[in-house]
Amino acid sequence: MTRDIALLKALAEVQALAVSLSITTLNPRLQRILEPRTSSPARRLKAVEALARNGIPVTVLIAPVIPGLTDHEIPRILKEARSAGATFARYQLLRLPRSVKDLFVDWLERHAPERKKRVLARIRDTRGGDLNDSRFYRRMSGEGTYATQIRALFKTSAKRFGLQKATETLSTAAFKRDLPAEQPGLFEERASEHEHE
């Protein structure tokens, strides 16, 4: 993302762009086994800093929040995101649709067997007893006691670190369409084809 910072800055100057960047964990070891081949937490925070320094509005998305594994990091992630220059934050609870569920359970067995039972129990607590809930609003935030605790932790922390300012309204005023001077309409073109038959 920072590779295109000049272009992003130009778009931000006319309110045509805001950036949302995800951070799952600040633990480098956990990040390497949870999200291999992705940018480290430190590099993501440096990206937030570089974007913010260039006047580009940045939202940090804590996603996925994994109950019993990463949820305790919410306050620290928000603190670091704010220090780096983010102005808004959101979160999304872990979703385990279809075969993703089996992949995640297998991942827990291999990388966190001592936490598997607790993590799965907490996920079920946020998903009405199942590991997934596909209902539109609930699939992002969950429901139940543990989901309520996560939501409260997020809201309190976001308020504490000043990450409640939503991205300014974006504008399309600067967008221009370059059309040929004389572009025939669909039916004009067809009429022209019939004339040559």
Percent of the chain with pLDDT over 70: 89
Beta carbons of 127 and 97 less than 8 angstroms apart: no
Residues 29-70 have pLDDT tens digits of: 999 999 999 999 999 999 999 999 999 999 999 999 999 999
CATH no., domain 2-195: 3.80.30
Length of the chain: 197
Tokens of 57: 């509005």
Residue with more model confidence, 41 or 182: 41
> What pLDDT is recorded for position 191?
52
Burial (0-12, 13-18, 19+ Cβ within 10 Å), 45 = buried
Beta carbons of 72 and 118 less than 8 angstroms apart: no
pLDDT at 110 over 90: yes
Beta carbons of 111 and 31 less than 8 angstroms apart: no
> What pLDDT is recorded for position 164?
83
Q: pTM (2 decimals)? A: 0.84
> What pLDDT is recorded for position 177?
75
At 58, which helix (H) or strand (E)?
strand 58-65
Mean pLDDT of 140-169: 91
Write down the domain spans for the chain.
2-195
